[in-house]
């Protein structure tokens, strides 16, 4: 289902989202401030006079249709590269996004971490065939996380939730972000350092968890050199973007046993259309042949409640705009996040 939403009196919002059978429009309408007039349609009004456009991948025509347009809302976390290149042409256009899936993405990261550490997928596969042999091996290959060190790359909302969960598992935590200056008293249980100190902390990372945006600076951030700095039997988890980790380096580190295991939710190749959804390998290398990798089809932001959360966060953002707040969830287009 595609939903196009317009708010002519204050914001005219075009929101293109794949949604379930139940339209989220009534919920969104109930949460908007009374000054926001909401109408729903499938075509732009003529003449177009909307002020806010909500679209993850807007067209040039949508941006140029209304002379009143001042804001673009991307209804998810991140800034798609094609969208980034398009909006660079309109430097006065303010760009925002939504952080409604931070908690569920963090939960996916922890799920992948635990599944990889305990080799759950491999053992599940064997037991389905009646093979109990792993139970009777003295050392089954599982890794104890308690007391180990987790290095979290990225300290936004997702990263901070991952930090809390790792603390709950009894792990020591180190977090890296682009700038370590934006810390608070809430960070006293762990240290936050600038990403420039990555090589200093990699040798201490029993688990490396990626939750940072893909930018020119972070593409191929983790390659052969960085993986070599990790302790033997380290675990790598990626819920950020595939290209942050060099594909070849990751595959060979898993195959040759340098890495104990990995949990991957983001990939290097994606279906280009509906027909390709059933037969598109996620990478050039055969990760599916490895028993020490947990593979997830980029569903970290998925949950039964996700569309409700999206509407709630969208309403908060639109209501803030209605009251003149132009900074909430603001995206730096040049930085890419």
For the chain, give every domain's residue range. Answer: 5-100+304-322, 102-295
Tens digits of residue pLDDT in 63-106: 998 898 999 999 899 899 899 999 999 999 999 999 999 999 99
**Are 5-100+304-322 and 102-295 in the same CATH fold?**
yes
Which band of pLDDT confidence, cut at 50, 70 and 90, is reported for residue 182? low
pLDDT for position 41? 54
User: Residue 150: is it exposed, middle or buried by C-beta count within 10 angstroms (0-12/13-18/19+)?
Assistant: buried
Among the listed residues 86, 81, 88, 90, the one whose alpha carbon sits nearest the alpha carbon of residue 59: 86
pLDDT band at 49 (very low <50, low <70, confident <90, very high): confident
What is the tens place of the pLDDT at every residue in 197-250?
999 999 999 999 999 999 999 999 999 999 999 999 999 999 999 999 999 999
pLDDT (mean) for 126-130: 96
The whole-number pLDDT of residue 89 equals 96
Kindly report the backbone phi and psi dihedral angles of residue 42, in degrees, each rounded to the nearest multiple of 5, phi listed first: -120, 0
Assigned CATH topology for domain 102-295:
Rossmann fold (3.40.50)
In which residue are the tokens 């339209």 written?
23
Is the pLDDT at 181 greater than 80? The verdict is no
Q: Is the pLDDT of residue 2 over 90?
A: no
Q: What is the pLDDT of residue 22?
A: 57
**pLDDT surpasses 80 at 146:** yes
**Given a cut of 90, is residue 169 above it in pLDDT?**
yes
pLDDT of 322: 87
Contact 94, 71 (CB under 8 A): yes
Q: What is the pLDDT of residue 111?
A: 98
What is residue 97's three-state secondary structure?
A: strand
Residue 11 scores a pLDDT above 70: no
Q: What DSSP character marks residue 23?
A: -
Distances in Å between the alpha carbon of 250 and those of 112, 223, 245, 294? Answer: 16, 7, 7, 13
Average pLDDT score over the chain: 89
CATH architecture of the domain with residue range 5-100+304-322? 3-Layer(aba) Sandwich (3.40)
pLDDT at 310 over 50: yes
- The pTM (predicted TM-score) of the whole model is 0.89
User: Edge to edge, what strands does the sheet with 52-54 contain?
Assistant: 52-54, 71-74, 94-97
Rounded average pLDDT over 254-261: 98
Name, in order, each residue with C-beta under 8 angstroms of 61's C-beta and a sequence gap of 6 or more: none
The fraction of the chain above a pLDDT of 90, given in percent, is 70
CB atoms within 10 A of CB 302: 14
**pLDDT-derived band of residue 1, with 50, 70 and 90 as boundaries?**
very low
């Amino acid at each position: 289902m595609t939903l196009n939403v317009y708010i002519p009196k204050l914001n005219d919002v075009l929101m293109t989202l794949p949604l379930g059978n139940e339209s989220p429009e009534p919920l969104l309408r109930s949460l908007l401030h009374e000054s926001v007039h909401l109408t729903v349609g499938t075509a732009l009004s003529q003449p177009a006079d909307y002020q806010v456009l909500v679209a993850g991948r807007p067209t040039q025509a949508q941006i140029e249709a209304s002379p009143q347009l001042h804001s673009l809302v991307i209804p998810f976390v991140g800034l798609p590269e094609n969208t980034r290149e398009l909006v660079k042409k309109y430097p006065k256009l303010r760009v925002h996004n939504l952080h409604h899936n931070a908690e569920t993405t963090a939960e996916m990261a922890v799920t992948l971490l635990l599944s990889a550490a305990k080799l759950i997928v491999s053992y599940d596969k064997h037991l389905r065939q009646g093979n109990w042999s792993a139970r009777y091996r003295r050392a089954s290959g599982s890794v104890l996380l308690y007391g180990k060190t987790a290095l979290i790359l990225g300290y936004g909302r997702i990263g901070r939730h991952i930090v809390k969960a790792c603390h709950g598992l009894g792990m020591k935590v180190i977090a890296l972000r682009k700038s370590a200056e934006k810390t608070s008293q809430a960070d006293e249980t762990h240290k936050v350092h600038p990403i420039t100190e990555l090589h200093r902390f990699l040798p201490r990372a029993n688990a490396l968890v990626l939750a940072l945006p893909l930018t020119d600076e972070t593409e191929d951030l983790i390659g052969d050199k960085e993986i070599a700095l990790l302790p033997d039997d380290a675990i790598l988890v990626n819920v950020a973007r595939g290209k942050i980790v060099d594909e070849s380096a990751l595959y060979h580190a898993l195959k040759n046993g340098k890495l104990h295991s990995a949990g991957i939710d983001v990939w290097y190749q994606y279906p280009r259309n509906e027909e390709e959804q059933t037969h598109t390998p996620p990478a050039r290398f055969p990760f599916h042949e490895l028993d020490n990798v947990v593979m997830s089809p980029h569903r970290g932001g998925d949950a039964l409640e996700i569309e409700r959360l999206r509407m709630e966060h969208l309403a908060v953002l639109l209501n803030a705009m209605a009251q003149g707040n132009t900074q909430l969830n603001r995206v730096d287009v040049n930085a890419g996040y």
